[in-house]
Amino acid sequence: MEHKEILLIKNGELALKGLNRGTFEDILLKNIKRRLYGAGSFTLRKAQSTLYIEPREEGADLEEACDRLSRIFGISAYTRALAVDKSMEAILAATGDYLADELRNARTFKVEAKRSDKTFPLTSPAICAEVGGALLKQFPHLKVDVHQPQVQVTVEIRDFGAYIHAAQLPGAGGMPVGTGGRAALLISGGIDSPVAGYMMAKRGIELTAVHFASPPYTSERAEMKVLSLLEEVAAYAGPIETRLVPFTHIQEEIRRHCPEELFTLIMRRGMMRLADCIARREGCGALITGESVGQVASQTLPALACTGAVTSLPILRPLIGMDKEEIIAISRRIGTYETSIQPYEDCCTVFTPRHPRTRPRLEQVEAAESALDWETLTAEALEGVRNKTVIG
């Protein structure tokens, strides 16, 4: 076998899926192929709970490929590895040279061997002893530390060959997008909703985004901000079909006909009505929001009950028990925070009541909004929806 650098992918949670595992792995492979487009030409195959990604040509950018793989849900770990013949001669000749940079800059190391091909003549401890001895000769400054080594050298003996690599890097985890159905994400320009979308995509859900725009109260830059946030989420979630819904007339009608202390609650019920219509039209099985209990007046338990009463679709609220610092930590990690704090208002901040009702009763809210012609307002807004596809 010619020595060749490849990528090894561990798919973690998929190993628990029993008879459905093959289907889940096929979806993950499809996602990987789509995300690696433009980084080079690769051959992908699966065996023994591992996906093998082999460059077909010299120009393949493995650094870029690894960066993209790090954001694909369904991958628990990945690593660059050198594929060599299944012989100790080949393994000993290649290991030190392949990992020279890491080993020169380290003081301690250990060797770990994994022998899934039991026909290989040496046991795993024997492989470790031979490789470790060869590395100590090649790098005499090194010492063995089996507990906390600075470099872990791994030799895997598999059906197709032997693979040499250093420590694996953590992947994005979760389930491959497309294995959990589709849901509609209500997204504003704030910190919370992009994180909510990311968290549900991590459970394998494809996202359709619904954003409400209220020009002239909200600007074109506010809309561009939301599209930028969706691009950052799409780097993990894949392409996001986005529906931009005109909301100005509905908000003005609410201000004209409804009590001020219920403005926000009735506005959110209007959003849920429209999101419900779009979700059903798009084949979504649920709605996703960035709500967290008690964070604002419209997110008390009575308020959440009133908001959710207008839809029979499940409402997924992945942030519901998180505090703001926890949400911000995730937004920083996935790259949405700096965009979220840009000072462009969204429609949720338009006509904010001075003293919002925090313990509303549903019958009270329904009576207050009965002055509105929801059928006409909803049809008008749906007719004005603009469609965009956002790619990360």
DSSP-derived secondary structure for 296-318:
SGGGSHHHHHHHHTT--S-EE-T
391 by Cβ neighbours in 10 Å (0-12 / 13-18 / 19+) ranks as: exposed
Helices within the chain (DSSP H only):
21-36, 62-69, 88-98, 100-104, 124-138, 192-201, 220-237, 248-257, 263-281, 301-308, 324-334, 337-340, 362-369, 374-383
pLDDT at 23 over 70: yes
**Max Cα-Cα span within the chain:** 85
Q: Look at residue 70 in the predicted model and tell me its pLDDT.
A: 95
Phi, psi dihedral angles at 236 (to 5 degrees): -105, -40
Give the whole-angstrom CA distance, residue 376 versus residue 374. 5
- Please say if the pLDDT value at position 2 is more than 70: no
> What is the model's pLDDT at position 59?
77
Instruction: Give me the pLDDT at residue 22, please.
Output: 79
Instruction: Tell me if residue 164 falls in helix, strand or coil.
Output: strand
pLDDT at 142 over 60: yes
- In the chain, the amino acid numbered 115 is R
- pLDDT range class, residue 16, cuts 50, 70, 90: low
For residue 252, how far is the Cα from the chain centroid?
36
Q: Is the whole-model pTM more than 0.85?
A: yes
Determine contact, residues 145/109, Cβ cutoff 8 Å.
Answer: yes
- How far apart, in whole angstroms, are the C-alpha atoms of residue 88 and residue 94? 10
**300 has pLDDT over 70:** yes
Amino acid type, 380 = E
For residues 44 and 195, the answer to whether their CB atoms sit within 8 Å is: no
Whole-angstrom distance, CA of residue 193 vs CA of residue 198? 9
For residue 17, give the amino acid letter. K
Mean pLDDT confidence for 20-35: 89
b/e sequence 274-283, b meaning 16+ C-beta within 10 Å:
bbbbbbeeee
Q: Is the pLDDT of residue 48 over 90?
A: no
Determine which of 87-91, 296-300, 313-317 has the lowest per-residue pLDDT on average: 296-300
Average pLDDT over residues 5-11: 91
Residue 278 token pair: 């779009």
